[in-house]
Structure 1
């Protein structure tokens, strides 16, 4: 089969499946039912192996969004990966990635969730190291090892769950009657820690920008609706367990710190994909913040909206990078709006949705989260971090648009680049439409009654004011270099750009602590006295014994004479005594 036909078949299949699952989600939402489908695979000696799948409006809407974005990414990848020698292998890994995410979403028990959870980690490692070089290898190892911490926490939660005699989590809502206070605290701790590792919250944030070593279509899929959102989805499902525990307060502070840290790091970043990755990290902090406040449905709403405009943002960035032969430095990208007018329009629309501009997809969810945070009884410091992070979103979004579009062209020959690759432009149309009308449609579906927020007018306009202040500060930072130079010293800038030294703490510090210890253990134990007293020493002793036996067998007369002398000597000694 032609590889182009293979890409189109997978893409069209995903589109139709997305539409069918979305209609099923509307049906389950209108009828307020949840369905379980159980498939018996085989039965041996009265032991039945079966798979159970949950179908409710949350899982259906999420699966529909995952399939829709996957279909768009697959259609886009045909042109992006056209010159790759292993494009067929790439599309199969992406399909496997989508399958494991769907398994995670539709699983009602911890065992099947673990299959999808661990499958995401393994397949994401294969995608991150797709370009086989040292940088991709280091990024893939950091991603895999960070996610393994979440896998261990998940295994601990499964072992703790055995007290119930069941692995399903949906029928149990009165957690305080099933567990004592200590068990509830331990279980909530391991579940939140697993979600934090998958969604890259502090102190596990370093792997998310490192995962940008994967191809850009993979980044669009991973950073919008699959891998990084799995932790948020897990906490949304387990919210009845987490409600009222101390760990939610800890998660509130960590998510607010993650938002602030990602926003500050994005201001000084010049890699196009890493700026968008840091914006993903900031939005994940907002989702975790919403869950911590006690609004899991609102966090799910923001998760869907973020998936739509973030996938579009990555696909537009992929067009710029692809047409510039892999160049990702935004300081050399000026004037892309002249060569890519349509792609630049999509890019600006997705940027405005990210900032929460009114009537775009991000506005409906982001504005509601900020207003409910202002209404709630919350720590003032955490609330200030939320406001500053919202301002920083406008700062790095407009800074990205300024460097890539408003500055003079950085490439002299860039005028030959045009928006003529329809196989990359056409898929972005669907995401562009969803980025404009998706917020309205899903807000009507998920919230049939408006969320009541009673605030003064000047506080009600906080989200819009934060966006405008962010754009103004971005213009100040980008146009007046003196402010940028004197605002922070070099060490402070280095601290911000390095994400509070989390990459050093996650990789370099562990390496300099563990590698010398491993070398010492290897030299003194494995290759030292353990080797001499273990297999190697036993081998040497046996070899000496075999050499003696061989000598005795080869020279029989000498051996017989030697034994005769020894026997005579022993006999004389015994006779003397």
Structure 2
């Protein structure tokens, strides 16, 4: 079997597993059933070591997303990574197996196997190109994630000393050290403050790796672990700690993304901001909303990275957005998918991100929460709109300044992958919302509270202008008020000039003096015989029409 056939076979297997997992998700959600499987591996003295798998609608819904994105990335990599296809497919396979171990397990030992597997495969994928930059990035990522790995090993050792490694046996017992270790472990994997530096650095990996590993699946593993064992973390001190760290992460990532010029790092920082939003939602006891946003975010963020990979691949790996522009002219399908994913990230109406982010903000507004946290949530959401429209402006409308362009063309496989991912980014939010409608609390808000979300979008658009231009210009022009007046004047001049041009060079040429002169000149060129023939034909046609109208 050659490399291309092997990748196609791997793609078909993954897409089949994705559809099968989605079917089980709907089946288990509808009939409210779950399966618990436990195998006894070994008994050491009085300690029992078990392999435990917990199958329910939540695990199958996350698995379906992991399988689907993995299948799209494997198909995408057929064109993106022409060399070392076998090694890449093997690493993707190991990554999927590690994610399955983490998603389905309830025993801390089996979780540790999947957790370490994710860290190891992530490190190998980051250094896939074997450059100095990728090696340094891989080492930094590995060392920061090792902190969480060591803490989860300590937790397993403490549980082993207490008689077992199964969380289910310790539901009514409080182990504060274990809980704190697990929380910090989840924070390292999900890149929360102070462990946030590894995620932008990990963008040295190939773009398909960033799409699968560092945007949609691996970075959400910590969030998923905390959702699974939320009942153990539901303590005031722990929730307050998570709330503060996640809010700071969301705000810090939004500010950094507005100043960043590297395309992949901007998307990575947006991922970091959304991870902070998920963690903050979890700390406010909105467990299902956090999981809902985890699923929808995985789809449109993977699409963002896939689109950015095509653009970087076509521009000789240039990642600076200042040297990009007018992509809508040269790569229309790619930029359409890219903008759909960006609008979904902003929570644009009826896209996937809208359903989850709108529910999060509305539920927060209807609860008695801290005003300072609400301010940070408001500003962070506005920052998301700001850097998103800044990115759209630079890639879609900005004049192209790149002189190193090698080729600007789109591939059939790339377009097919983008079309499928774009479709899912548009419809899966509503589908999951309809599926979860019995689980979510649908808030009913007053009209003035509903106006808060459009206000956030408007504030984000103004902030994008702030970051597009210099700050001293912002303050000098009285917060762009001078520019708004100039723009109104320009719009008026533009409309009047268009009306003048269309009338002076359009209809007035036909009915004015110049049009009459041209008509007389045309009649003078017609000889007498042709004029009589045309006159007779016109007369007969008029008589026929008159009689027809009288008959009717």
Q: Distance in 1 between matches of 2:168 and 2:58?
A: 13
CA shift at 1:446, angstroms? 2.0
Contact 2:37 2:52 in 1 (8 A): yes
Q: Distance in 1 between matches of 2:462 and 2:43?
A: 66
Q: SS of 1:227's equivalent?
A: helix
Residue among 287, 295, 299 paired with 1:296 = 287
Aligned to 1:159: 157
Q: Distance in 1 between matches of 2:307 and 2:406?
A: 18
Kindly indicate whether residue 335 of structure 2 is the aligned counterpart of residue 341 of structure 1: no
Please list, as runs of the form range in 1=range in 2, the aligned pairs for 1:27-42 lying within 5 A after superposition. 27-38=27-38
Structure 1 residues 378 and 472: alpha-carbon distance in aligned structure 2, compared to 1, 3 A threshold:
same
Q: SS of 1:54's equivalent?
A: strand
Q: SS of 2:219's equivalent?
A: coil
Aligned to 1:139: 137
Contact 1:224 1:308 in 2 (8 A): no
Structure 1 residues 381 and 95: alpha-carbon distance in aligned structure 2, compared to 1, 3 A threshold:
same
CA shift at 1:226, angstroms? 1.8
Q: Distance in 1 between matches of 2:418 and 2:450?
A: 33
Kindly indicate whether residue 416 of structure 2 is the aligned counterpart of residue 426 of structure 1: yes
Q: SS of 2:216's equivalent?
A: coil
Aligned to 1:66: 66
Q: SS of 2:53's equivalent?
A: strand
**How many residues were matched structurally?**
477
Kindly indicate whether residue 455 of structure 2 is the aligned counterpart of residue 457 of structure 1: no
Q: SS of 1:229's equivalent?
A: helix
CA shift at 1:50, angstroms? 6.4
Please list, as runs of the form range in 1=range in 2, the aligned pairs for 1:249-264 lying within 5 A after superposition. 249-264=240-255
Q: Distance in 2 between matches of 1:51 and 1:65?
A: 24
CA shift at 1:471, angstroms? 1.9
CA shift at 1:390, angstroms? 0.1
Q: TM-score, normalised by structure 2?
A: 0.82
- What root-mean-square deviation, in Å, do the aligned CA atoms of Structure 1 and Structure 2 show? 2.5
Aligned to 2:350: 359
Give ranges in structure 1 of 5+ residues lacking alignment.
488-577
Aligned to 2:512: none
Q: Distance in 2 between matches of 1:268 and 1:255?
A: 20
Q: SS of 1:226's equivalent?
A: helix
Structure 1 residues 99 and 444: alpha-carbon distance in aligned structure 2, compared to 1, 3 A threshold:
same
CA shift at 1:40, angstroms? 7.4
Q: Distance in 1 between matches of 2:168 and 2:48?
A: 22
Q: SS of 1:93's equivalent?
A: helix
Contact 1:188 1:245 in 2 (8 A): no
Contact 2:246 2:277 in 1 (8 A): yes
Q: Distance in 2 between matches of 1:128 and 1:486?
A: 45
Aligned to 1:386: 377
Contact 1:76 1:424 in 2 (8 A): yes
Structure 1 residues 248 and 293: alpha-carbon distance in aligned structure 2, compared to 1, 3 A threshold:
same
Please list, as runs of the form range in 1=range in 2, the aligned pairs for 1:170-319 lying within 5 A after superposition. 170=168, 175=171, 177-179=172-174, 183-184=175-176, 186-319=177-310
Q: SS of 1:225's equivalent?
A: helix
Residue among 354, 369, 378 paired with 2:360 = 369
CA shift at 1:28, angstroms? 1.4
Give ranges in structure 2 of 5+ residues lacking alignment.
478-552
Could you list the per-position Cα deviations for residues 61-101 of structure 1 after superposition, in whole angstroms to 9, with x for gaps in the alignment?
A: 0011000000001100110001x3x2211121111111111
Contact 1:394 1:474 in 2 (8 A): yes
Deviates more, 1:219-228 or 1:191-200: 219-228
Please list, as runs of the form range in 1=range in 2, the aligned pairs for 1:98-109 lying within 5 A after superposition. 98-109=96-107
Residue among 429, 437, 462 paired with 1:447 = 437
Q: Distance in 2 between matches of 1:351 and 1:359?
A: 13
Contact 2:288 2:440 in 1 (8 A): no
Q: Distance in 1 between matches of 2:108 and 2:218?
A: 17
Please list, as runs of the form range in 1=range in 2, the aligned pairs for 1:484-503 lying within 5 A after superposition. none
Q: SS of 1:53's equivalent?
A: strand
Structure 1 residues 486 and 166: alpha-carbon distance in aligned structure 2, compared to 1, 3 A threshold:
farther
Higher relative contact order (CA 8 A, sep 6+): 1
Q: SS of 2:426's equivalent?
A: helix
Q: SS of 1:36's equivalent?
A: strand
Please list, as runs of the form range in 1=range in 2, the aligned pairs for 1:11-22 lying within 5 A after superposition. 11-22=11-22
Structure 1 residues 423 and 235: alpha-carbon distance in aligned structure 2, compared to 1, 3 A threshold:
same
CA shift at 1:148, angstroms? 0.8
Kindly indicate whether residue 394 of structure 2 is the aligned counterpart of residue 398 of structure 1: no
Q: SS of 2:36's equivalent?
A: strand
Q: SS of 1:204's equivalent?
A: coil
CA shift at 1:274, angstroms? 0.1
Could you list the per-position Cα deviations for residues 129-182 of structure 1 after superposition, in whole angstroms to 9, with x for gaps in the alignment?
A: 11212211111111111111111111222233346633223466xx4x323xxx
Could you list the per-position Cα deviations for residues 474-525 of structure 1 after superposition, in whole angstroms to 9, with x for gaps in the alignment?
A: 13432567437989xxxxxxxxxxxxxxxxxxxxxxxxxxxxxxxxxxxxxx
Q: Distance in 1 between matches of 2:405 and 2:316?
A: 11
